[in-house]
């Protein structure tokens, strides 16, 4: 029995966001001194050469990262590195501080292994995040920065929002993600329309002197045709990859009473659809466009499935909440065993094994 399996029932008695805040405070305390950070590292890190992934001219020591939303304000990046994650994506960061939606806005769907959130881009804003990255330093693992717009912005202002956050935070980033797929923000216009996407990417391209890799994050609910349109735009602007997927508005086959809450569904209920999106994208691009796979990853088997479907890296949020601090270690250790079993010499070797014609 792990410590977390004893703590979890207590934590799950608290409202979900209170438990999350408490968890983050604990991580922040743990990362603040060298001995506690070292203790986390020695308990939770797992290294193996087969896990390394070279992508975006960066070495990821393992393919398991923390998805956007967990550490919106870059408060616990060092603790997450110490817990053995291969990378962390902070954000979504907006230009100014924003409260988000009223509480409660985060719900556990215990019977389904999922969560519903309607946080609504709550965050401290880019200046606070920038000064924290300066004072704390960036983590030893690759850092993704997920950028977003203010809830109140119109279509024209939104483009300026992305530009400003990109300008401020891309110097710290190993990659940047443009998040146009949040289902919980009150948009007055279509964030995913080709014209809007083109304006965003054109603007960021002009701003990107340092050639920081730029990815776009997509949702799981779009039909294939609009995904293909997006991929065509991604190629048109020579962007570096896709993060698939964000949360879902679907409520199919759920048991928990909390399914009535509005917001984005994450975790096990979206796992299959998210993997299907990854496979479809990998197939459409002949495996040539890097994909970061996210949605329902909580085990080595679920990470492996996304890798075989075409993901070069995977991320998780909900799985971390359910499985606790040893999540990355367990997944990575399991991945090494599965790779050996299936005759792959490395994670990179297995990427897209289910889709790409290797003949
Ligand atoms: C509470 C919560 C907040 C989130 N906030 C963000 C966010 O700010 N930006 C973003 O791109 N994705 C956000 N996400 C989506 C996750 O990054 C991820 O795409 C989604 O939850 C699916 O992964 P999972 O099943 O491992 O949770 C959030 C998810 C949750 C549960």
- Position in ligand 1 atom list of the atom nearest CA 92: 8
Residue 110 has pLDDT above 80, yes or no: yes
Q: Which CATH class is domain 3-350?
A: alpha beta
- Rounded Cα–Cα distance for residues 158 and 152 (Å): 9
Quickly state the pLDDT bin for 307 (edges 50, 70, 90).
Answer: very high
- Residue written as token pair 């897209």: 352
Helix (H) or strand (E) holding 175: strand 175-179
Question: Looking at 204-213, 258-267, 334-343, 349-358, which range is the least confident one?
Answer: 349-358
42 CA to centre of own chain: 25
Looking at residue 186, what is its pLDDT? 75
Instruction: Return the percentage of the chain with pLDDT > 70, whole number.
Output: 99
Residue 84 has pLDDT above 60, yes or no: yes
Instruction: Please write the tens of the pLDDT for every residue from 278-294.
Output: 999 999 999 999 999 99
- Rounded Cα–Cα distance for residues 218 and 280 (Å): 13
> Alpha-carbon dihedral of residues 88, 90, 92, 94, nearest 10 degrees?
-160
- Mutational pocket test of ligand 1: of 192, 246, 296, the residue with most ligand atoms within 8 Å of the beta carbon: 246
Answer for the pair 44, 328: CB distance below 8 angstroms, yes or no: yes
- How many other CB atoms are found less than 10 A from the CB of residue 20? 19
**Cα–ligand 1 centroid distance for 319 (angstroms):** 11
Looking at residue 187, what is its pLDDT? 75
Looking at residue 357, what is its pLDDT? 64
Question: Looking at 14-18, 308-312, 327-331, 355-359, which range is the least confident one?
Answer: 355-359
**Cα–ligand 1 centroid distance for 344 (angstroms):** 30
Looking at residue 185, what is its pLDDT? 77
**Cα–ligand 1 centroid distance for 292 (angstroms):** 13
**DSSP 3-state of 328:** helix
Looking at residue 181, what is its pLDDT? 84
- Mutational pocket test of ligand 1: of 69, 126, 278, 320, the residue with most ligand atoms within 8 Å of the beta carbon: 69
- CA-to-CA separations, 56 to 47, 90, 163, 310, 312, in angstroms, rounded: 21, 17, 21, 16, 11
Residue 356 has pLDDT above 70, yes or no: no
- Determine phi and psi for 240, rounding to 5 degrees: -100, -10
Instruction: Please write the tens of the pLDDT for every residue from 26-71.
Output: 999 999 999 999 999 999 999 999 999 999 999 999 999 999 999 9
Looking at residue 221, what is its pLDDT? 96
Residue 309 annotated among the catalytic residues of the structure:
no
User: What mean pLDDT is reported for the chain?
Assistant: 96
Residue 358 has pLDDT above 60, yes or no: no
Residue 359 has pLDDT above 70, yes or no: no
Q: Where are the domains of the chain?
A: 3-350
């Amino acid at each position: 029995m792990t410590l977390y399996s004893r703590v979890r029932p207590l934590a799950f008695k608290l409202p979900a966001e209170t438990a999350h805040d408490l968890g983050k405070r604990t991580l922040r305390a743990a990362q603040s001194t060298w001995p506690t950070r070292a203790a986390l590292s020695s308990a939770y890190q797992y290294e193996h050469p087969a896990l390394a992934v070279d992508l975006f001219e960066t070495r990821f020591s393992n393919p398991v990262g923390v998805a956007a939303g967990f550490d919106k304000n870059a408060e616990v990046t060092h603790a997450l590195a110490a817990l053995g994650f291969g990378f962390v994506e902070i954000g979504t960061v907006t230009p100014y501080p924003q409260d988000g939606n009223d509480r409660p806005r985060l719900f556990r769907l215990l019977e389904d292994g999922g969560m519903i959130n309607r946080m609504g881009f709550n965050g401290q804003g880019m200046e606070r995040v920038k000064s924290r990255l300066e004072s704390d330093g960036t983590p030893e693992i690759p850092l993704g920065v997920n950028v977003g717009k203010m809830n109140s912005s119109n279509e024209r202002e939104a483009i300026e929002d992305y530009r400003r956050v990109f300008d401020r935070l891309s110097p710290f980033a190993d990659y940047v993600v443009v998040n146009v797929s949040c289902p919980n923000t009150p948009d007055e216009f279509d964030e995913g329309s080709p014209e809007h996407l083109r304006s965003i990417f054109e603007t960021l391209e002009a701003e990107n002197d340092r050639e920081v890799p730029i990815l776009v994050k997509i949702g799981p609910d779009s039909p294939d045709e609009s995904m293909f349109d997006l991929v065509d735009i991604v190629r048109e602007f020579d962007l570096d990859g896709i993060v698939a997927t964000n949360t879902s508005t679907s409520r199919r086959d759920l048991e928990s009473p909390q399914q009535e809450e509005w917001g984005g569904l994450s975790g096990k209920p979206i796992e299959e659809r998210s993997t299907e999106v990854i496979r479809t994208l990998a197939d459409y691009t002949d495996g040539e466009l890097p994909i970061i796979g996210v949605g329902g990853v909580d085990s080595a088997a679920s990470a492996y499935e996304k890798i075989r479907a075409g993901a070069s890296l995977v991320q998780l949020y909900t799985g971390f909440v359910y499985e606790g601090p040893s999540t990355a270690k367990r997944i990575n250790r399991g991945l090494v065993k599965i790779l050996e079993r299936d005759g792959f010499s490395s994670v990179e070797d297995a990427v897209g094994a289910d889709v790409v014609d290797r003949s």
